[in-house]
Structure formats: C-alpha cells, structure tokens
Amino acid sequence: MSTNVPNKTNGAAPQEQTIQFTKRLREEASQEPVKVHTGEVTKETQIIAIYGKGGIGKSFTLANLSYMMAQQGKKVLLIGCDPKSDTTSLLFGGKACPTIIETSSKKKLAGEAVSIGDVCFKRDGVYAMELGGPEVGRGCGGRGIIHGFETLEKLGFHEWGFDYVLLDFLGDVVCGGFGLPIARDMCQKVIVVASNDLQSLYVANNVCSAVEYFRKLGGNVGVAGMVINKDDGTGEAAKFAEHAGIPVLSAIPADDDIRRKSASYEIIGRPGTQWGPLFESLAQNVGDAPPMRPKPLTQDELLSLFSADSVGRNVVLEPATEFDMRGATVINKPTLEVIYDEV
C-alpha cells in the first residue's frame, strides 16, 4: 500500500486530515486486486504449502506424494510445520525425526551452530525435516514456526536447488505463524486437503479466505487445488471445490487397505503398486496446477453443501430471557441517572 500517513504540514486541520486519509484508505480497499497469475510457474523451485484440518491426512498425502515425486526423478524437500512433528513419521517408517527447534536449543546451550546434517534427513531420494514446536502450555506454536524458518534461512534455504519444497501446515490454527507462507509470499501456491465433512471444509474455506485477504494486500499466492482424502463418494468436498473455483487434484478413497498400510507406516505411493497410478497422477497435477484466486464461501453457502439434517439449518434461534438466566421474574426499575435538560 503506497498511501502515506498525513502530517500536520499540509495546512489542513487535523480532523480534516483524518477524514481525507480514511477516505483514501477506503478507496484503495475497494479497488479490485490484480488477477492472480494463472500461467506456468516460472521459479525454478516450486514451494507449495499444504493446509488442512488436523488429522485430515496431510502427512499421509505428503509422504506418499513426495516419495512418488522422488521416484519420478524430482528433487524434493518435505518440511513438517506442525508442532506434533509427525509429518515425516510415515516417510521414515514411524521413526521420530529430530526437530529444528529442539536441535537448535541443544546446540545453543552447547555453544555450537546448527548444520544441515543435524536437522535434514533423507530416504530414497526424499529430503525431509521437522520444524517442531513447544510442549503444551510452554510456548506459542506459531512463534515456533517463525523461529524454524529463521533457522532455515540461516542455513541457506533460498539457495537450495530443489524441484519441489512441500510445506505441511495446520489449517485450523489461525495464529500468524501458520499463515507465514501466504502472508510473506514464501510459496507460490497453496493446496488444501479435505474430506466430505463440514469441519475440514470449514478449514479449507478459511485457507481460501486467507489467500484472498493477502491478495488484496498485494500478495501473489494462489490456491492450486484440493486433494480429497478418505473420499466416501458423498460429494460435498467436490461441490465445495466447484463453488470455490479450484480444481480437485486427486480423490483418495476411504479404503481399508490404505488405512491399514498407513497405520503401519507403509508408503503406498510407489510406482508399479496398486495405488501407484493415483499418486503418479497427483504428482503430475500438483506440478502442473497453476495458482488460482479462490472464491471463499459464506457460512450459509458452506452449510448449503450439506443436508439440513446434518448441519442443523432447520433449527430456529430462540432468544433467552432474563427469567431463563436468573430463575426469577425481573422487575424493571427506573434508572437513577440524572438527565439534565439541554440549555
């Protein structure tokens, strides 16, 4: 935003200055932002932030997606940005990966600097790391994300030569640290993972709203599309994507074989396997999908994707009364405030 705050040297009265400044701000806010770039991504490295409700299957999707990309000859870096630090668990067969935050703390106490080998690990061509986060009640998860990226920048993040950098973010945590890639243009595009349930689509809609908000502030990030996980065929997620103006990149079925293999930390996104073609297609779509400007839904529009019985649209709001709150009839007493007649 290019508007400068007015000062007292322009000859106008302070009140008039404020009115003029407010008017200019409103005029700028009402202007339609420049359309998001929808052509081919031109940066050599595609940095993609994946958002979704906690437990929706982002880590499962990303572990298999990154593995498939690596088997296709791409150089891929997977970064877990969830305080649970479980993004890389499936990739590493259930083995915990040392986080940047805990490693940084230990190194600092020892008077040593963090190196790449302390925090970045690899398997079958996939490079992966976890930012980590504080223990419950002992710090801000969003601040942990910010600290983690500050450490990555010191390690030369912007000089690394990857084809893809995939960032795994919680979408139902709204503090600033988790919106970092969108707010600071740290990625070119966003992908949302959701299912056919209201809560995951509510989160997906919030992410679309965040992208649109920062577009209006001059940002360049767009939404490349949606991955529907645990798809039971009911269609609500697909309808949301259609209304929001974003494509469905893949629909991963709610299959018991996938559930069992995922629970045992088995990668299913391997070439030549039953689920290989699904992730081959997803990898292709993720790479090709252009960042698009989404159309966030209103609360009523979001609820309209579901039947009235499942979301309670037939419920009538009945105002509470003073009797409900106190359990007794309230006698209205005249005010004791003294009101003087105007002269």
pLDDT tens digits for range 63-101: 999 999 999 999 999 998 877 778 899 999 988 888 888
What total number of domains does the chain contain? 1
What integer is the mean pLDDT of 30-58?
70
What is the distance between the alpha carbons of residues 205 and 301, in angstroms, rounded to a whole number? 11
163 pLDDT higher than 60: yes
Flag whether 301 is in a domain. no
pLDDT for 180? 79
Choose between 153 and 253: higher pLDDT. Answer: 253
Res. 34 pLDDT band, cuts 50 70 90: very low
Flag whether 327 is in a domain. no
| Residue of 86, 118, 172, 197 with catalytic role | 172
Cβ proximity of 179 and 147 under 8 Å: no
Res. 222 pLDDT band, cuts 50 70 90: very high
Look up 53 and say whether it is catalytic.
yes
Res. 4 pLDDT band, cuts 50 70 90: very low
What is the distance between the alpha carbons of residues 175 and 224, in angstroms, rounded to a whole number? 23
Going by their DSSP bridges, the two strands 121-123 and 222-231 should be labelled as unpaired
Res. 1 pLDDT band, cuts 50 70 90: very low
What integer is the mean pLDDT of 258-284?
95
> Residue ranges of the alpha helices (H) in the chain?
14-30, 58-71, 100-109, 116-119, 141-154, 180-183, 198-216, 236-244, 256-263, 276-288, 299-303, 308-311, 322-326
179 pLDDT higher than 50: yes
* CATH number, residue 289: 3.40.50.300
pLDDT for 3? 45
End-to-end CA distance of the chain: 48
3-state secondary structure 71-140: HCCCCEEEEECCCCCCCCCCCCCCCCCCEHHHHHHHHHHCCCCCCHHHHCEEECCEEEEECCCCCCCCCC
Flag whether 23 is in a domain. no
Look up 84 and say whether it is catalytic.
yes
What integer is the mean pLDDT of 296-325?
81
Tell me the backbone φ, ψ of residue 193, rounded to 5 degrees: -110, 130
What is the distance between the alpha carbons of residues 217 and 223, in angstroms, rounded to a whole number? 16
Average pLDDT, the chain: 84
Choose between 331 and 245: higher pLDDT. Answer: 245
42 pLDDT higher than 50: no
pLDDT for 81? 84
| Residue of 74, 75, 84, 239 with catalytic role | 84
Res. 312 pLDDT band, cuts 50 70 90: low
pLDDT tens digits, one per residue of 101-133: 889 889 888 999 889 999 999 999 999 999 886
| Residue of 58, 189, 230, 261 with catalytic role | 58
What integer is the mean pLDDT of 279-302?
94
Flag whether 274 is in a domain. yes
Segments forming the whole domain that contains residue 61: 46-294
